[in-house]
Structure 1
Amino acid sequence: MKNIAGLLQELKYTVIDGKPEGEISELVYDSRKVTKDCMFVCIKGAAYDSHDHTEEIARAGAKVIVAERPVKVPEGVTLVLVEDSRYALSMLSAAYFDHPAQKLKVIGITGTKGKTTTTFMVKGILEHAGYKVGLIGTIETIIGDTHIPSSNTTPESYLVQKYFAQMVEAGCQICVMEVSSQGLMMHRTAGIPFEIGIFTNLAPDHIGPNEHASFEEYAACKGMLFRQCRHGIANVDDEHFDMVLAGHTCDLETIGFSDRADYRASDMELIGRPGYLGVKYHVSGKIDMDVEIDVPGRFSVYNSLVAIAVCEHFKVSQEDLKAALKVVKTKGRIEMIKVSDDFILMIDYAHNAMSLESLLTTLKEYHPKRLVCVFGCGGNRSKLRRYEMGEVSGNLADLTVITSDNPRFEEPQAIIDDIKVGMAKTKGKYVEISDRKEAIRYVIEHGQKGDVIVLAGKGHEDYQEIKGVKYPMDERVLIQEVLKEMAEK
């Protein structure tokens, strides 16, 4: 049981009906989960607004209803009005779970690309140095040995605070989390005392219905993190650096290749050998050391610079930094799977034209004999994405294998045909193999010495969605099945 007045303490509110006295059993924001004597927070969603159903919610047992506009409630139910119920939910959740973020050092990472890889990199290094670290992100939430699959990059504020509380209980000292622009805009991270806020980069994305109205709004939402953290670490090379950091209230450190950077990379060298792609460079400024990472590309330098700058705040030794950077991996992000000494096979989550272009451009810099790209596109999504991805792969890959992704309620062949519209604008060679396992078998059987083969689009996902059902499908498992079947021939 929680005291009502205590929960409301940090909010500006007006009591319309009843009195904010006594205790509530639970804090609830989902109308399907109302319990007797709970406090219910009304949220306006894209398709459902619980403000329109307060009488039913009260009849189901709610003792207190928090809303952002006057609503009908039966006699005996307390109605509390707030300016923004999403903000209220965040502050109420923090109080309900006894402000767990104050017992952790919370590191928030925002940016268009690099959030997931950087969170895992930071977590890996800090754990290597002996810290106990929780993680909240696009792939999953990790609390000790517990892995909870994610549906949002930044979960609803109640869940964030619940996870923080579980991390404190599990003995975590640090939480590293991805902070999406949507999460910031919807106040899912309101009230969190971030120890460190990180900006990786910014490019036009997430602009449209139910997302951001404009690029300017998108950038402004990213910038909110830097008025909510003690220390900021930002990529000074990004062309939108000044736009995102405008009005920041934290002290600020910078990373990049620029002479302006506090953590400055130089002498970058791409390393490619049989079965391996990586990069090494020198970092100077606030630290002086040579670095090698087992993840290819220039963007890996940026991600690792961020991790190095973060770890300086936690007094991680250079030996621990170097050792951890050599082994840190992120599931489904340029994840190399050893299948042959002759060619390289990797899995990556690139599932739109921008991310696929960035990935293939990075891999081309290693001058493979052939760059082979296997990908499909999701059903019930934009046809434009299919055309664009077809055109990108046709222009950059030496061979494209067009296959199935999550067809959802569409026919896989119809999606493949759309991808071919984009391919037709290029001179790129392609084959089409609808069954994803067979597409993987094809590229393994036809792999040539010096090839780099990338399976794009699925990444960390371990399912395939067909006509409303999610069937188990993990590319790592498919690869092993193919290798076993080839060995038995």
Structure 2
Amino acid sequence: MQASKLINNLKFKKVIPESFEDFSVSLLTQDTREVIGGSIFVAIKGAKADGHKMVQEAVKKGAAMIIAQEKLTEISVPVVYVQNTKKAMAILSSFFYETSSQALRIIGVTGTNGKTTVTHIVEAIFRNLGEKTGLIGTMYRKIDDEILKTKNTTPDIITLQRTLNKMVEKGVSTVAMEVSSIALIQGRVWGIDFDVAVFTNLTQDHLDYHKTMANYEHAKSLLFSQLGNKYTHSGDSKVAVLNIDDPVGERFEADTAAEILTYGIKKEAMIKAGNIEIHSEGTDFDLIVFGEKFHLSVKMVGLFNVYNILAAFAAAYACGVESEDIIGALEKFPGVKGRLQLITSASKVSAIVDYSHTPDGLLNALETINDFAKGKVFCVVGCGGDRDKLKRPKMAKIAVEHSDYPIFTSDNPRSENPQTIIDEMLVGVPEQVEIPTFVNRREAINFAVAMAKPKDIILIAGKGHEDYQIIGDTKHHFDDVEEAKKALYLKEQRD
């Protein structure tokens, strides 16, 4: 695409100089590491770095045009001045990557817990129908069968548009995408044409960023308020899928012009679950869809996973998929790595690895395990550094009240002192209760396994699918599943 044609999509701008030699744009980027000859570099002013200070470096590497919102001097290439470079980047990336989101069916999922599980179930439903699918979220980006690494749950807008464009090229038709609250506030999904938006739930998380729950709720609401504002022919309209059991889900009804599809267990939802039976191998329940009843036996454990299944069912149903086809995929779905992932052993001690890193997530996991545990329940848990400190004593209190043997440890301490994080967790524990604490997460897991007896279950909470531990600025390889398997194997050898 020619530069003049691309920047013509910016309505309010000032180009210095007004006349320049046109060129074919090779790349649009905000990252100087990506710059090649013929690139347009967008100077983004972020929390940690200011792209305006990197313009000279971008030009040296071959950037042929700069998009800026602050005055630049001594620049040898054309500069396009705009009011907001983030908004300009969203507009330019949409057109540079051929408005790819409009060629795809995109299902966005937001909420505190369940996003990863819901998107994986949605993707499995459409793959089961024979479609090529895409997935964007916490664990990776997936284009049909190709797995790409990701830095954030929701990538920056250029990476996102680039990924969607590649999906179109590869013949993908449906994309399931996690949409984080921070991404919504930062405009990372501006210009993305969502067809269905799903709300799972809202509980405490990310208050280090949002400061208040009201701000956090507002961030989530943006997915629904930005969900189209026009009505088209039947079958093409946008749909908001809302958990009606959560009061926030009810409030989001007023935030969107889209058609509403509700799901729940407690209230009279359009799609509902009843007669729920949870056991160690999975969950059985009745699914009621606008009054029509189906019985499901799924391999996923827990009440919160029933909510996840209802959310995914509703998303597919909103896209016109028949109930029987959705149910067929649901009953085959094996679950998601690091989400209540069961690890058994010959010693009859079991471990469960779960991504429960919020108070609500930890409570859900422990309540689920307590429903089927035949022995004692251990809980190895920590809290992340440089993140919401208010949840630390709350998670500690939940671990003490809902497990027989709580053990506190590290979970990505980042720049904080891990012992300080543990001490802040201990504030939520009664003085008379003694908690084993281990700064070294491996030692905590080994201790729990050594203490456990046959039929006991060890919940290793917080990291789930992650295969790293962030200490300072360094990522060290660390996988809870690997560590649990090693510890259980050594226990078998000793016993």
Calculate the TM-score normalised by the size of structure 2.
0.87
Residues 244/214 of structure 1: CA separation in 2 closer, same or farther (3 Å cut): farther
Whole-angstrom distance in 1 between the partners of 2:165 and 2:178: 17
Tell me, yes or no, if the aligned pair for 1:113 and 1:200 is still in contact at 8 Å. yes
Residues 382/309 of structure 1: CA separation in 2 closer, same or farther (3 Å cut): closer
Tell me, yes or no, if the aligned pair for 2:408 and 2:435 is still in contact at 8 Å. yes
Whole-angstrom distance in 2 between the partners of 1:306 and 1:484: 37
Residues 382/101 of structure 1: CA separation in 2 closer, same or farther (3 Å cut): closer
Whole-angstrom distance in 1 between the partners of 2:392 and 2:219: 28
Residues 314/416 of structure 1: CA separation in 2 closer, same or farther (3 Å cut): same
In structure 2, stretches of 5+ residues that fail to align are 229-237
Whole-angstrom distance in 2 between the partners of 1:339 and 1:125: 32
Q: After TM superposition, list the pairs within 5 Å mapping 1:92-131 onto structure 2.
A: 92-131=92-131
Tell me, yes or no, if the aligned pair for 1:8 and 1:92 is still in contact at 8 Å. yes
Q: After TM superposition, list the pairs within 5 Å mapping 1:231-246 onto structure 2.
A: 231-246=239-254
Residues 317/238 of structure 1: CA separation in 2 closer, same or farther (3 Å cut): closer
Specify which of 461, 469, 472 is matched with residue 474 of structure 2: 469
Specify which of 372, 391, 394 is matched with residue 397 of structure 2: 391
Per the alignment, residue 189 of structure 2 pairs with 189
State the shift of 1:184 in Å. Answer: 1.6
Per the alignment, residue 8 of structure 1 pairs with 7
Whole-angstrom distance in 1 between the partners of 2:325 and 2:388: 47
Tell me, yes or no, if the aligned pair for 1:197 and 1:225 is still in contact at 8 Å. yes
Q: What percentage of residue pairs aligned between the two structures are identical?
A: 32
Tell me, yes or no, if the aligned pair for 1:255 and 1:262 is still in contact at 8 Å. yes
Whole-angstrom distance in 2 between the partners of 1:157 and 1:186: 10
Whole-angstrom distance in 1 between the partners of 2:290 and 2:477: 48
Matched to 1:165, the amino acid is N
SS in 1 for 2:195: strand
Matched to 2:304, the amino acid is F
Whole-angstrom distance in 1 between the partners of 2:341 and 2:190: 34
Whole-angstrom distance in 2 between the partners of 1:454 and 1:79: 55
Per the alignment, residue 77 of structure 2 pairs with 77
Per the alignment, residue 444 of structure 2 pairs with 439
Matched to 1:280, the amino acid is F
Per the alignment, residue 407 of structure 2 pairs with 401
Whole-angstrom distance in 2 between the partners of 1:190 and 1:292: 39
Asked whether 1:228 is paired with 2:219, we answer: no
Per the alignment, residue 256 of structure 1 pairs with 264
SS in 2 for 1:465: strand
Q: After TM superposition, list the pairs within 5 Å mapping 1:159-308 onto structure 2.
A: 159-208=159-208, 211-212=209-210, 214-226=212-224, 227-229=226-228, 230-258=238-266, 260-269=268-277, 271-273=278-280, 276-285=281-290, 287-308=292-313
Matched to 2:265, the amino acid is F
Whole-angstrom distance in 1 between the partners of 2:128 and 2:48: 44
Cα RMSD over matched residues?
A: 2.8
Tell me, yes or no, if the aligned pair for 1:219 and 1:244 is still in contact at 8 Å. no
Whole-angstrom distance in 2 between the partners of 1:247 and 1:376: 36
Residues 342/484 of structure 1: CA separation in 2 closer, same or farther (3 Å cut): closer
Tell me, yes or no, if the aligned pair for 1:58 and 1:74 is still in contact at 8 Å. no
Matched to 1:12, the amino acid is K
Whole-angstrom distance in 2 between the partners of 1:169 and 1:381: 38
State the shift of 1:279 in Å. Answer: 4.5
Tell me, yes or no, if the aligned pair for 1:87 and 1:188 is still in contact at 8 Å. no
Whole-angstrom distance in 1 between the partners of 2:137 and 2:297: 25
Residues 260/480 of structure 1: CA separation in 2 closer, same or farther (3 Å cut): closer
Per the alignment, residue 157 of structure 2 pairs with 157
State the shift of 1:141 in Å. Answer: 1.1
Residues 110/341 of structure 1: CA separation in 2 closer, same or farther (3 Å cut): same
Asked whether 1:43 is paired with 2:44, we answer: yes
Residues 46/163 of structure 1: CA separation in 2 closer, same or farther (3 Å cut): same
Asked whether 1:328 is paired with 2:327, we answer: no
Calculate the TM-score normalised by the size of structure 1.
0.88
Residues 389/29 of structure 1: CA separation in 2 closer, same or farther (3 Å cut): same
State the shift of 1:319 in Å. Answer: 5.2
Whole-angstrom distance in 2 between the partners of 1:382 and 1:418: 12
SS in 1 for 2:383: coil
In structure 1, stretches of 5+ residues that fail to align are none
